[in-house]
Structures are given as C-alpha cells and as structure tokens.
A = this chain, B = another copy of it.
Amino acid sequence: MEPTETDALLVEFMDPAASVYRTVQSNEDSGVAELPLENNGRVEGRQTQRLMRQRISDDDEMLDIAMDGRDDHGMEVPDKSHGSTHLMDTLDDLPPGIGQYDDFHTIDWLRDVARDRMRHRHIVKKRQDGCWEKLKSAHDAWSGWVCVFLVGLAAGSCAGIIDIGATWMSDLKEGVCLDAFWFNQEQCCWTANSTTFNAEGDCDQWFTWPELIGSVSGAGSYIIGYLLYIVWAIIFGLLAAMLVRVFAPYACGSGIPEIKTILSGFIIRGYLGKWTLLIKSVGMMLAVSAGLSLGKEGPFVHVACCCGNIFSYLFPKYGRNEAKKREILSAASAAGVSVAFGAPIGGILFSLEEVSYYFPLKTLWRSFFCALIAAFILRSINPFGNDHLVMFYIDYNEQWSLQELIPFILLGALGGVFGKLFIKFNIMWCRYRKFSSLGNFPILEVLVVTFITALISYPNQYTRMNSSELIRLLVSRCGPEDEMELCDYNRNLSTPHPYQSSAVASSGVHSALWKLFLALIFKSVITVFTFGLKIPAGLFIPSMAVGAITGRMIGIGMEQLVLANPSSPLFANMCEQDSCHITPGLYALVGAAAALGGVTRMTVSLVVIMFELTGGLEYIVPLMCAAMTSKWVGDALGREGIYDAHIVLNGYPFLDSKEEFTHTTIAADVMRPRYWRYGIGVRNDPPLCVITQDTMTVEEVEQVMQNTMHNGFPVVVSRESQYLVGFVLRRDLNLAITNARKTSEGIVSNSTVYFTTHVPPSGPNDPVPLKLRKILDMAPITITDQTPMETVVEMFRKLGLRQNLVTHNGRLLGIITKKDVLRHIAQLENQDPESILFN
C-alpha cells in the first residue's frame, strides 16, 4: 500500500469479478451518457479563463470598498503575494481540463463549491452590463428550479410509462385483449363497458391464452396456461438480462448503493447516463412482468437520478460542476421515492436520511418541489386508473386498541430478524456469485431463477399475482364486494354494518392462510437469490410482501383469538355488543413496514411513506412501534442495512455519515508515510513525496510523477525544513508541464520549477524558469499529527475533503486521503478478512 495513492487506483481494489466496471470501461460505446471529457474540459477551461480575468478586477473593487486600508497589507514571509491570491485564481491561464475528475475518482467538494461561487459572482457582476446579461443572470438564478422541474416531469413520466408497461406485460403472461392488444386486463374490461365480470375479474373482451387456443376448461387449459406463463416469464427474463448485458451493464440491481456512493462524492461515469435510463426502464418492465420476486420502487430512484443527471447537462451550472450536480441528484432521488410510493414528503426524507451525503438545506425546498411535480405528473398519467399513485392505497380508517401494540411490536421484531437473515444470506450468495464461476453466466442465472420462480409461482394464486397487487390485497379490508378466499368469513348480514366488525373465519380463510404461508416461505427464499441478479431489481416490494403476508396471518390469528374470547379482560375494550373490531389489513400494513425497516434500516422516511400511504395520523403509532422495534432488533443483530452491506461487498469508497467513529486513534496513526523519519518506512512505506517550491527542475518533477501514482503532491519550502507551502494536484501539474513544454519557448528539462511569486533573475544561459504558482492550492486543509481521528473523520465527512495534510509544529509529516480513512475504519472495525477493499 502506498501513501496518498491516487483514487484512480481504487478500481484496482474493487472486486475483480465485478465485471460491470471492466465492461463499461472497455466498452465505451455502451452506456456512457456523459459528454466526452475532453470537450467538456475544453469548454470549461475557456470559460474559466474568461471568468478569472474578469474576476480579478472585481475583487479589487469590492475589497477596496469593504476593507479600507487593504493596500497596506503585506506579510513578512517572502513569498506572500501582495494582493490576495485565492484558491480559485490558481485556475487562471491554465491549459484546458484542469478542474475535472477522472472516472472512479473522489470529488473535492470544497473546490467545486468554491468554483461555483466564483461563477456566481461573475454573473452578478456582469449583470450591470445590460439587458442581455440581466436575462442571462435571471436564467442562471432560475436554472436550478427549471432543472428540478424538468427532472420531476421526466421522473413522473418515466414512472407512469413503466407502471403502465409493467401492468400490461404482466397481464400478457395470462392473456390478451383482443379488441386492443395494448390494453391490460383492467383497461380492456373498462373500455368494453362490460358488466359481466366473472369470478376472476374477467370480462368478455379479455381472453386468456387457453381460451384463445381453444381449450376453455379442465386440466388441459390449466397446463396450457401454466406452460405459456412459464414461457412468457422466460422470454421477459431473457430479454431483460440480454438488454442489461449488451447495452447497459450499470442498469442492474436497485442502484441505491451506487447512488449513495455517487452522492457521497464519487465519479462513476455512465452510471446515470441515458442508456442506463433507457435500459433500466425497459428492463424493469420486463423483470417485473417476468414475475420475479422484485419490485420497481427502488430502481425508480435510479431512473429519477438518471433523469437528473441528463437534465443537469442542459444547465452548465450543474452539469459541469460535480458538487452542484449532486444537488440535482438529491432532488431526483426524492422524486424517485415520491413516484414509487406517492409520497413526496417521504421522498425528501428518504433522500435526506438514506441517500444524500451532503445535503445543503437550501436544496430541501427544491427537492420537495421536484418530488411534488413528479407525483403530480404521475397522478395525471394515472397509471392504475384509480386516482392514487400507488397500487396499495389504504382507504379505511379503523380504530386500533392499545393492546394490539403487542402483536405490532412482535411484527416489528419479526421484521428485524427477517431483515438480518435476508441481508446475511443475500450477501453470502452475492459473494459466492462474485468469487465463483457463477458470475460468468449472468444470463443463464437469470433464466434459471426465472424458470424456478415461474414454475413455483403459478399454482399458488398469491405468488402468481404481481407482488404489489398481493400487497394491495393483504392490506385491504374485506368489503361487501370481495368474494375471494381471504374474505370468506361467516358474516351476520342482518347487522347494520356487517363488514365493519370482525367475523369468524370460514374454510376459505383457512385455505388462504395455508397458501399464504407457502407464499411466505417461497418469497423469502427466492428473493435472496433474485436480488443481485444482473437485471433491474428493487427490494422494497418483495420485502414488503413478505412482511405483509406475515402481518396478515398474525392479524387473522389475532382476530380469531379475540372472537373466540370476546369476554376476556384482555380484549374487553376491543369488543362491544358482540362485535369486535380488528383489521387484519392493518397488521399487514404494519408487517410490511417492519420487514422493509428490517431490510433497509430506514426510520423516519419509512414511517412517513407509510403515513402518506394511509393519509392519516391514525396509524402512525403502530407503524412507528413496528419500525422502531424492527430497527432495534435488526441493529442488535448486525448494524448494516442491505444497501450498506452491498456497498461494503462491492468495496465502494463510501464514508458513512451516520456511523460514529468511536476509536481513539490519532492522525499520526493513519497518515502516510507512517514512519517518515527513517527515510524508508517500516512496512515498505516509501518516504513522503514532496515538491520543493523553488529548487526542483522540470525533469525532477516529471520523475516524481512517473515514480509515484499519487493524486497530488505537497509543496514545501525546502527538503531540509519541510514547512508546507501548498498542495498541487497531479492532474494539474501534468497538464501544466505538458502544456508548457508544447507552447512556451525555452522550457526544457532542466528549467527550474517555481511555485513562489518571486522568481530570481536568471542569467542569459540559464534555462527559462517555469512558474507554476497558479496551479498551487495555497489553502490545503491541514491538521496536526495529534488530532484525534474522530475529528479527522468529521472533517472528511462534513467538508467533503479529498485529502488532509498532517503537520507537526508547522512541519509537514504526512498525508491522509479519504481512502486511508476508509481503510483505517475497516481495519479497526471490520474483522472480515475477505473485505474487498484490502484484498
């Protein structure tokens, strides 16, 4: 391990089997939606130069007003410049490309934010120059709002299209609408205006495949239906897997772990590109329609973020500044959850709690706007034809009793245990996939899982139906119009409100319970194998389905228990005049929340999403009890949620902002090189690579760059007294020297490189000196070697640093990069020898 190795090397530390990175890197024509770097850089470079020239005069003017006496300002230190040499001045007169990031690099938030403020100041200044500039300034001020408006619009539309497509294709597995094949079953029957629904909700215009083929009833019909169901499922699964494999490898999975990593300040080019968007959208429809145990709610976040990324390129303010772009992406992820659950407020809180790393409060308002627009658009599209944004909207408002909190807490505990087990087995399987030859056959794996899923699903009506339909069924209350098994109660229809009180279960309910139990087992197991397949796959719906099944079963049990003992003092207040009020649907809802909480470890956002689904404060307390229990039980068994577990599995450089750093190490224990005074460190730590401010030649500097892969180099006063002057990035240095050699006359290998303001006069035969003060960051963040790592971690998180220089009594000792911190944390906490980052 080298000190301060460049982040580009990170990819080396990633899982060698994670073919997705390699594929994309070697397959440039695949999913890379970003503008080509070179182009980007050049445009920006030019613009930056213009900005800079303008700005210098601005500064003087402003400061003269603000701080009189500024001109007397001077420092004893020899290389202190007279005026103010800001961080951002260093970009002036530079070759293009400086200020950009390479793929798989970590961004420097401070630098990007400063760059944006400079741009902003420039625009404010120019506003005086006339109407056109005023207009441009107004456009700039509005662009954030316009951008999130467009993102909301796009996210809502995508969600609508995906919902409609998935419903249609899901129904296609069972039959077709002959009048208009592009209608799904529900729409088909609507347009037909038919009143002759049969028991399964069929109407005249809707033909199941057996009906079409001619075998209307009997075993033959069943077998034909079964076979066609499997065939369609395999076709959809194959298509989804092939599309992902061929066009956009990044479109697989839920995308949330990667989005968390990207929002924490990491660059993964193409992950949010237009190909990914397209393939993920289509793939989601296909994967859901294939009947696999996965949902489209998580991937909606990825889709919305793709929209965010694509639209941000319309606005250079966001598209060309990685830190600013993340504001749009935060808003987009809120929109994603908003359309997934029809919960705009839940969306913001999800974005805040779960996804975003660096969430400036001013983006809260914009995120909300974005989430709301998306929800509004989705409602206008009305994909489910029922004026609600989601399939499982709860429209009852029954009271619950205090003693029901016991089963609710039990559900929470079960949810926590389920979450932990699910995470454990899923990670085990994913790790096996990574390190075995299984990883080489992603399409085959999808086909096998699809086949098994379809084979087992069809016979059981609760697994055959779409997971979100199943959830809707489970959380709903049995009304007069429900004739299904699950509502087969012995109701006393002579009472005034027979459907508002509980009733004794009939045989139908018993058989439904058995089927639900089988569905529970099947879904729990198959989801472990499904999440991680190389197709778009969300986890919200399957885990909610598992929880809802458990909840409904416990709810029915509770209902029957109370009905059997209506006079027991335990249940006294739940029954009045022989009618007891227990809503098994509420148990299903609570169970769904608990299971989702156990898997994802969401808290506030989970409760708020559920609150928005039910639309009343009535059920917040049960939901909260379950969510809290689930989180605590889950955390007691293992602290990581599924997303964090996948981040660790894939070795993404994600510095969790929620986990506290509780160790007592100090900066000197983490910095590289560890033992600087020995020249060559123990454990092969090479000495710290520094550049001196006024003694090294171009060749020497180039030598230093060639010999090391460091991301940047500290500049010191001299080798003997290593007092820190500044920090220069490898990328900038490289570009500057290459450019100088090409364009400037007289720059040769033994030209001296000066980072000082004052360059001593050189004799006629001396080579022309190369002045590089412009690319020197004069304000690197430094800490002392005695700083506790708690503080260092805090600084990395909150300031979004890329590296931190360590000094002692002013002398440079070493450097700590974000990766050093991550490695250190893992070393202290993670006893898992298989941890990817360090293999």
Contact = CB atoms under 8 A, between A and B. Distances in A.
A353 B366 CA distance: 13
A70 B669 contact: yes
A376 B376 CA distance: 31
A550 interface: no
Contact of A799 (B607, B677, B795): B795
A794 interface: yes
A67 B674 CA distance: 11
Interface residues of A, number: 106
A809 interface: yes
A604 interface: yes
Contacts of A798: 798-799
A112 to B, nearest CB: 12
A808 B77 contact: yes
A742 interface: no
A779 B790 contact: no
A84 B791 contact: no
A664 B121 CA distance: 9
B77 A811 contact: yes
Interface string A769-804: 000000000111111111110110011001100000
A667 B666 CA distance: 27
Stoichiometry, copies per complex: 2
Contact of A372 (B74, B121, B365, B621): B621
Contact of A368 (B79, B607, B660, B661): B607
A810 B624 CA distance: 53
A67 B824 CA distance: 10
Interface in A741-789: 778-788
Interface string A592-632: 00000000000110011001100111001100100010000
Contacts of A91: none
A9 B227 CA distance: 84
Contacts of A349: 364
A260 to B, nearest CB: 13
A69 interface: yes
Contacts of A229: none
Nearest to A723: B810
Interface stretch (A55-63, A202-210, A266-274, A582-590): A55-63
Pick from A110, A666, A783, A785 the residue with the most CB of B within 10 Å: A666
A110 B362 contact: no
B810 A811 contact: yes
Given A788-B86, A794-B799, A810-B810, A664 B63 contact: yes
A19 B473 CA distance: 65
A601 to B, nearest CB: 11
Contacts of A724: 784, 809-810
Contact of A810 (B87, B674, B807): B807
A276 to B, nearest CB: 28
Given A86-B786, A780-B784, A669 B67 contact: yes
Interface in A50-88: 55, 58-59, 62-63, 66-67, 69-70, 72-77, 79-80, 84-88
A86 B783 contact: no
A739 to B, nearest CB: 24
B75 A668 contact: yes
Interface string A396-410: 000000000000000
A620 B372 contact: yes
Interface in A822-839: 827-828
A113 interface: yes
A72 B682 contact: yes
A717 interface: yes
Nearest to A792: B779
A788 to B, nearest CB: 5
A117 B778 contact: no
Contacts of A608: 345
A353 B364 CA distance: 8
Contact of A110 (B76, B87, B118, B791): B791
A85 B611 CA distance: 50
A348 interface: yes
Nearest to A783: B779
Contacts of A118: 664
A617 B79 CA distance: 62
A724 B660 CA distance: 30
A136 to B, nearest CB: 18
B603 A114 contact: no
A69 B682 contact: yes
A361 interface: yes
Contacts of A779: 666-667, 783-784, 786-788, 791
Contacts of A55: 664
Contacts of A604: 348, 364-365, 368
B723 A88 contact: no
A248 interface: no
A662 interface: yes
A705 to B, nearest CB: 24
Contacts of A788: 86-88, 114, 779
A127 to B, nearest CB: 13
Interface string A334-352: 0000000010110011001
A24 interface: no
A501 interface: no
B723 A117 contact: no
A675 interface: yes
Contacts of A621: 372, 376
12 contacts: A55-B664, A62-B663, A67-B665, A77-B809, A86-B666, A110-B794, A113-B790, A369-B628, A723-B810, A779-B786, A779-B788, A807-B810
Interface of A: 55, 58-59, 62-63, 66-67, 69-70, 72-77, 79-80, 84-88, 110, 113-114, 117-118, 120-121, 124, 342, 344-345, 348-349, 352-353, 361-362, 364-365, 368-369, 372, 375-376, 603-604, 607-608, 611-612, 615-617, 620-621, 624, 628, 657-658, 660-669, 674-675, 677, 682-683, 717, 723-726, 778-788, 790-791, 794-795, 798-799, 807-811, 813, 827-828
Given A67-B827, A782-B782, 16 more contacts: A70-B669, A73-B668, A84-B786, A86-B664, A86-B786, A86-B788, A87-B788, A110-B791, A344-B617, A345-B608, A361-B658, A364-B603, A368-B604, A779-B783, A782-B783, A795-B799
Closest 9 CB pairs of A and B: A810-B810, A778-B786, A779-B787, A723-B810, A798-B798, A365-B603, A76-B677, A723-B809, A779-B786
